[in-house]
Structure 1
Amino acid sequence: MAVTVETLEKLERRITLTLAATVINSEVESRLKKLARTVKADGFRPGKVPMSFVAQRYGAQVQYEVVNDKLGEAFSAAANEAKLRVAGMPSIAQKDEAAEGELAFDATFEVYPEVKIADLADAEIERVAAEVTEEAIDKTVEILRKQRRSFAQRGAADVAADGDRVTIDFEGKIDGEPFAGGKADGFQFLLGEGQMLEAFEKAVRGMKAGESKTFPLAFPEDYHGKDVAGKEADFLVTVKKIEAQHLPDVNESFAKALGIKEGTVEALRADIKKNLEREVKFRVLAKNKGAAMDALVGKAELDVPKSLIAGEAERMVANAREDLKKRGIKDADKAPIPAELFNDQAEKRVRLGLVVAELVRSQNLQAKPEQLQAHIEEISQSYEKPAEVVRWYLSDRERMAEVEAVVIENNVTDFILGKAKITDKQLPFDELMATA
């Protein structure tokens, strides 16, 4: 029988589903008989509970389940018959009027939109590139040295200088009153590394162990502590201890301590360069991918199903709760996080997903087996045992699905960059690494 599809607005559709009462009743009776074989009730042996008792206790529940199952089957059959691509779950409501012996329901739902992508040759994209310089390697070596530095207490006559680790007691007051977070005893920080506000570091710089000082400090307007942002406080600080840092020399011992088998400084720098080049490659790819995707969405015309936006927003809420849980927040799974907070971001994700899917379909940009293998092997090179990482990916469908998604995105990016008007820009290494 032909299915009548009513268009409500844009992507919203409605169809009427009918179920024969005899079919429902027959299925309910069958399920109740099956249930009666295992149901337990006081005064009756298992399998001997009267059908009247089973029907009275479980009839409504079974009726609800049967109707839901039959509606699901009827909706799926109707959608297939009408060749509809249903987006999200339908909303089903029973109709007051129906033919004798039938139950009638209205199923309201959305369909996937038609996606139109304009000529990408008109898109303008800035494609970035970056290289690993000797200066970048030097900075990385210094970071590694600092990670392995040691400290020795300075003499009584020495003053605190940049690079020293200082231990202090401090108390701050605003208008003569203490404030939350404004007091600490035995607090340690590294002077000159931006761990404290510059005014605080400036006051401590040049002090001796055992010395105290009072100084004013103006909190920035954008300070993370909203209660004190933009206000001026008076601080009393006492230096308890000053320790000078010692950085290890860059030599064979240092290289071996970092796991360099050859144990030479040259091998260490080569290893650092290799790792930095891998990181630069992924960051450049991410930036260019983002620019390409923005250009693609800008050339696309479509309506976005509200049901898909709502579903994506709910997933983002679940992810937010999971993140809170990992941070140790109590009752994170019950955190009152409104899905509406994520609507804009969810809409962007869904829109991009629909546009990318259309481009992949129309241009045959699916991931090829050799691309999947190459991507996994590239990832594995940053681990100590690459072969085990490759097996780890290949042994799990979900992990392989994640790899496939990345490869498809790369294919889409390459396709867009191959069509658009490209302006190349060389990014300084530090600027690239500073981006999220």
Structure 2
Amino acid sequence: MKHRHWSLIIVSVISSCMLKLSVEVSPRICLQCYNSSLDEYSKHLKVHGFRPGQRLPENLIANYVGRENMQKAAIEAILKKTLPEAMSSVEGRAVRDSLRITSKLEDMSDSFSHSSVFRYDVVVDIAPTVTWLLDTKYKDLKIVVEIDDIIDAEKASEREFMRRHKALGALRIVTDRGLQLGDLVVLDIYGESIADGESKSEKIPNSERKGFHLDTEESSSLLPGFLEAIIGIRQGETRSFPFEFPQSWEQESLRGVSVNYTVECKELFYRELPPLDDSIAGQLVPGCTTLDQVKELILQRCREVERTAIDQATDNAILDRLGKIVEVDIPQSLFEEQGRELYGAKLLQLQAENRLNENQLQSLAREESVREYLQKERENISAIVRQMLAIGEIFKSENLQLSTEELVKEVEKSVAEFKNHNQDYDEDRVKEQVQDVLEGAKVLEWLRENARIEYVKK
């Protein structure tokens, strides 16, 4: 509880990350604010018989704007005058831009009198306390990083080399045989589920494919056994065969489902490839004269991609681990801020990819659409905020530092980006966001050096 010369402020705890401020404003301040609002009306109202700016009688102002609007203007003046003073009682603890007035305007208007005490309530988020769930906190962390086989540089370079070789080949129509491994085939595919071995069946959603192009050398995403079932099929031939989706299938609704597939071969091609020798090196990679040069250059590029992918996978694994070893009450303002930033970035990406027209963009930008996104993605957004709070805690605990030069450089780069796209920006907010990103990078670097990181194949 704090007394001011004009008010009484009662601070009460709602949760570990939210405070309630109950503010009482003295009649003297209420009268001052009421009179100042009348002065403002007098400046702008043009009334016959009164000079511009001359103080107008209260009743006359009421006739022009109404008593209700006069009260609202006075309340607005009171809030404008007293809120900064009220917020000073929680200075250093309040989360930026988290203040919310909880008293309804209608209730404040009904109870307002410039000769009585005026009361209102606000809530404010405060920096939450991060509780580590491990005795060692974030020290000596064990991080397991799963690496996808597809980013293995050696294997990726072999695939890329073969892809480039195949791209030089010409497609020829197969006329005298059935499908072989290495061919390309165009299929019409129909799938129907079979209920408990009965003859009754129903179509599987999204299973019908017409004109489906299949490269038999790139069939890893197919249903296991599908390719084997169509080997030997000829152009114009139709085959039907039963299948059961494995329990590990990505689409959960199809796991264990028995299916009868009908496949018609529409077109069948084989590749006529040029000899794999030094004569095609320049076609595979411009500037190369031998296949060894081609393979080495492709391998170098794949290693760069591999390093980037491993670094990203490591950062993701560290962030995921951090989010799971902290317990923290997330302030609503931080949740909304992070969620709205993610949603805005998503819209910008869709817009940049020309996947949204103007009407769709306007619809998705509505508050209702934003709210739906926040609700749907609550778990993911909360996980990201937990990670951010954990990073902030480590940055402080380890006394990590950012150089002023580095911060200024990145802020200037971000501001230039906004200017290039003719977008409005708040420089203080940009600086805050850049600082968060740089602090996060410092913490991830520290954890990579101090954690026990194990890499395993998926």
Task: Give me the TM-score of the superposition, normalised by structure 2.
Answer: 0.68
Contact 2:192 2:201 in 1 (8 A): yes
Provide the C-alpha distance between the structure 2 equivalents of 1:228 and 1:129, rounded to a whole number of angstroms.
26
Q: Aligned-pair RMSD on alpha carbons?
A: 4.6
**Residues 256 and 279 of structure 1: is their aligned pair in 2 closer, same or farther, counting only changes over 3 Å?**
same
The one-letter code sitting in structure 2 at the alignment partner of 1:83 is E
Contact 1:166 1:239 in 2 (8 A): yes
**Residues 219 and 351 of structure 1: is their aligned pair in 2 closer, same or farther, counting only changes over 3 Å?**
closer
Task: Determine the structure 1 residue equivalent to 2:175.
Answer: 156
- Using the TM superposition, give the Cα deviation of residue 191 of structure 1 relative to its aligned residue in structure 2, in angstroms: 2.6
Task: Determine the structure 2 residue equivalent to 1:384.
Answer: none
Task: Determine the structure 2 residue equivalent to 1:408.
Answer: 439
- Using the TM superposition, give the Cα deviation of residue 348 of structure 1 relative to its aligned residue in structure 2, in angstroms: 2.4
The one-letter code sitting in structure 1 at the alignment partner of 2:440 is E
> Percent identity between the aligned chains?
17
Partner secondary structure for residue 71 of structure 1? helix
Segments of structure 1 that go 5 or more residues without pairing to the other structure are: 40-46, 377-390
Partner secondary structure for residue 188 of structure 1? strand
Task: Determine the structure 1 residue equivalent to 2:304.
Answer: 278
Residue 395 (1) aligns with residue 416 (2): yes
- Using the TM superposition, give the Cα deviation of residue 244 of structure 1 relative to its aligned residue in structure 2, in angstroms: 0.8
Task: Determine the structure 2 residue equivalent to 1:238.
Answer: 264
Task: Determine the structure 2 residue equivalent to 1:387.
Answer: none
Task: Determine the structure 1 residue equivalent to 2:157.
Answer: 137
Provide the C-alpha distance between the structure 2 equivalents of 1:342 and 1:256, rounded to a whole number of angstroms.
49
- 2:32 equivalent among 23, 31, 43: 23
**Residues 58 and 317 of structure 1: is their aligned pair in 2 closer, same or farther, counting only changes over 3 Å?**
farther
Partner secondary structure for residue 372 of structure 2? coil
Task: Determine the structure 1 residue equivalent to 2:20.
Answer: 14
Contact 1:166 1:190 in 2 (8 A): yes
Partner secondary structure for residue 13 of structure 1? strand
C-alpha deviations, 1:301-326, integer Å up to 9, x for none?
65433443355445556666777776
Task: Determine the structure 2 residue equivalent to 1:110.
Answer: 125
Contact 1:32 1:59 in 2 (8 A): no
Task: Determine the structure 1 residue equivalent to 2:395.
Answer: 360
Provide the C-alpha distance between the structure 1 equivalents of 2:114 and 2:44, rounded to a whole number of angstroms.
31
**Residues 26 and 312 of structure 1: is their aligned pair in 2 closer, same or farther, counting only changes over 3 Å?**
same
Superposed, 1:82-93 pairs within 5 Å as 82-87=90-95, 88-93=98-103
Provide the C-alpha distance between the structure 2 equivalents of 1:163 and 1:35, rounded to a whole number of angstroms.
82
Contact 2:12 2:21 in 1 (8 A): yes
- Using the TM superposition, give the Cα deviation of residue 116 of structure 1 relative to its aligned residue in structure 2, in angstroms: 6.1
Task: Give me the TM-score of the superposition, normalised by structure 1.
Answer: 0.70
Provide the C-alpha distance between the structure 2 equivalents of 1:370 and 1:256, rounded to a whole number of angstroms.
45
The one-letter code sitting in structure 1 at the alignment partner of 2:91 is K
Provide the C-alpha distance between the structure 2 equivalents of 1:400 and 1:270, rounded to a whole number of angstroms.
43
**Residues 160 and 91 of structure 1: is their aligned pair in 2 closer, same or farther, counting only changes over 3 Å?**
same
Contact 2:31 2:114 in 1 (8 A): no
- Using the TM superposition, give the Cα deviation of residue 299 of structure 1 relative to its aligned residue in structure 2, in angstroms: 6.3
Provide the C-alpha distance between the structure 2 equivalents of 1:27 and 1:188, rounded to a whole number of angstroms.
76
- Using the TM superposition, give the Cα deviation of residue 161 of structure 1 relative to its aligned residue in structure 2, in angstroms: 1.2
- Using the TM superposition, give the Cα deviation of residue 223 of structure 1 relative to its aligned residue in structure 2, in angstroms: 5.4
Contact 1:32 1:54 in 2 (8 A): no
Task: Determine the structure 2 residue equivalent to 1:202.
Answer: 228
Task: Determine the structure 1 residue equivalent to 2:330.
Answer: 304
**Residues 70 and 272 of structure 1: is their aligned pair in 2 closer, same or farther, counting only changes over 3 Å?**
farther
The number of aligned residues is 402
- Using the TM superposition, give the Cα deviation of residue 206 of structure 1 relative to its aligned residue in structure 2, in angstroms: 0.5
The one-letter code sitting in structure 1 at the alignment partner of 2:158 is D
The answer to which of 58-67 and 100-109 deviates more is 58-67
- Using the TM superposition, give the Cα deviation of residue 241 of structure 1 relative to its aligned residue in structure 2, in angstroms: 1.7
The one-letter code sitting in structure 2 at the alignment partner of 1:278 is E
- 2:242 equivalent among 198, 212, 216: 216
C-alpha deviations, 1:158-184, integer Å up to 9, x for none?
211122111233444454656254545
**Residues 324 and 248 of structure 1: is their aligned pair in 2 closer, same or farther, counting only changes over 3 Å?**
same
Provide the C-alpha distance between the structure 1 equivalents of 2:35 and 2:281, rounded to a whole number of angstroms.
78
Contact 2:326 2:386 in 1 (8 A): no
Task: Determine the structure 1 residue equivalent to 2:186.
Answer: 167
C-alpha deviations, 1:22-41, integer Å up to 9, x for none?
2332343344345547x9xx
The one-letter code sitting in structure 2 at the alignment partner of 1:137 is S
Partner secondary structure for residue 17 of structure 1? strand
Partner secondary structure for residue 14 of structure 1? strand
Partner secondary structure for residue 5 of structure 1? strand
The one-letter code sitting in structure 2 at the alignment partner of 1:163 is G
**Residues 164 and 80 of structure 1: is their aligned pair in 2 closer, same or farther, counting only changes over 3 Å?**
same
Provide the C-alpha distance between the structure 2 equivalents of 1:159 and 1:178, rounded to a whole number of angstroms.
30
Task: Determine the structure 1 residue equivalent to 2:381.
Answer: 346
Contact 2:33 2:77 in 1 (8 A): no
- Using the TM superposition, give the Cα deviation of residue 137 of structure 1 relative to its aligned residue in structure 2, in angstroms: 2.7
**Residues 357 and 297 of structure 1: is their aligned pair in 2 closer, same or farther, counting only changes over 3 Å?**
same
